[in-house]
């Protein structure tokens, strides 16, 4: 089809050309998520794919006494995110009263289990205080990813200190044989334990211990484990969570128990974009073998500890299976819809 333009001078043609370029640029921009992807201060994001949607379960980033609930966010395309408010709060967990953070969510037998930390318990061995067992790692359960969630055990799953690890920053991993493991730990120590089939307790190892320490060099907190090409990629945060040196490093092993020898950092600050990039999770779209890293960072000029925002970038690997360093951006990732299940 031909379009005949009449009565149009050079200036008008230039204007039309400029408008076309401007419109095209804006359409392109709308097809990317942008960073941050969530409105408000959120940190420690747990990312997952359930059904036809992408999900993010972050920490509400505020003072400990204000961290008494969790929000969740869902998206069909990684660009537009819907907020699901207060999917769990202290009103549904009788033993939790503050510092609810770093959720980990897993689907099992048509139920959704949300593992979370609460109360920031302390130990005498670390700071001379009386050992505190009122808190630790708990579990909530729901029939839908957006909840509402309710307390599953009526008490914490882990409320003691094993191998020097504070019971926080939990992650749940299903191995290729179907076994579920809980991996957790703050204060520079990381443990792994076997969950029983209904998630009501820990199965001791053959030597009678409940947890094995798998701490790699440089580990501080925020563990994450995934399996790719029969290799176990163990990731964690290092540096101080309130400072610009907060970052993510990783190791590779042949077993979920390691040994994990540190390979190097793959996510850290860019002083032209943001600081303190860390405490992440990984999301894998198996339909197109696309990997994403979801993390938090601190905007330039922000110095308040809890002023953190949740962002997303693509994650990729080189020909030898090593993770390529991630460049943090303002653009985020391209729109990507999940195929609908039949």
- Which residues are known catalytic residues? 44, 221
CB-count exposure of residue 62 (10 Å: 0-12, 13-18, 19+): middle
3-state SS, residue 151:
strand
CA angle 99/100/105 to nearest 5° reads 155
At 99, list the tokens.
């510092």
Residues whose CB falls within 8 Å of the CB of residue 230, separated by 6 or more in sequence, listed in order: 254
SS3 289: coil
Q: Closest Cα partner for 226 from 171, 308, 188?
A: 171
Beta strands 150-151 and 221-228 are: unpaired
CA 274 from chain center: how many Å?
18
Helix (H, G, I), strand (E, B) or coil at 95: coil
């Amino acid at each position: 089809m031909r379009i005949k333009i009449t009565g149009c001078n050079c200036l008008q043609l230039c204007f039309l050309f400029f408008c076309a370029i401007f419109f095209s640029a804006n359409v392109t921009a709308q097809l990317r998520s942008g960073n941050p992807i969530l409105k408000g201060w959120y940190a420690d994001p747990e990312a997952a794919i359930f059904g036809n949607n992408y999900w993010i379960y972050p920490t509400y980033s505020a003072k400990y006494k204000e961290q008494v609930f969790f929000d969740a966010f869902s998206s069909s395309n990684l660009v537009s995110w819907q907020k699901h408010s207060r999917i769990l709060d202290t009103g549904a967990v009788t033993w939790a009263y503050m510092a609810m953070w770093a959720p980990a969510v897993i689907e099992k037998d048509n139920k959704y289990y949300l593992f979370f930390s609460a109360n920031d318990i302390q130990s005498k061995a670390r700071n001379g205080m009386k050992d505190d067992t009122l808190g630790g790692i708990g579990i909530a359960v729901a029939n839908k990813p957006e909840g509402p969630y309710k307390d599953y055990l009526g008490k914490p799953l882990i409320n003691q200190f094993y191998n020097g690890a504070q019971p926080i920053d939990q992650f749940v991993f299903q191995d290729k044989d179907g076994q579920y493991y809980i991996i957790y730990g703050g204060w520079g120590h990381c443990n792994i334990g076997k969950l029983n089939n209904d998630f009501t307790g820990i199965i001791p190892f053959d030597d009678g211990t409940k947890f094995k320490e798998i701490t790699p060099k440089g580990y501080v907190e925020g563990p994450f484990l995934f399996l790719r090409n029969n290799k176990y990629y163990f990731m964690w945060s290092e540096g101080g969570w309130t400072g610009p040196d907060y970052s993510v490093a990783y190791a590779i092993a042949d077993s979920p128990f390691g040994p994990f020898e540190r390979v190097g950092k793959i996510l850290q600050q860019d002083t032209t974009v943001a600081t303190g990039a860390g405490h992440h999770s990984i999301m894998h779209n198996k339909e197109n073998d696309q990997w994403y890293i979801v993390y938090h960072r601190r905007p330039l000029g922000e110095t308040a500890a809890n002023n953190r925002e949740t962002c997303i970038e693509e994650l990729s690997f080189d020909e030898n299976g090593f993770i390529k360093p991630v460049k943090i951006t303002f653009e985020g990732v391209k729109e990507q819809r999940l195929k609908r299940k039949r």
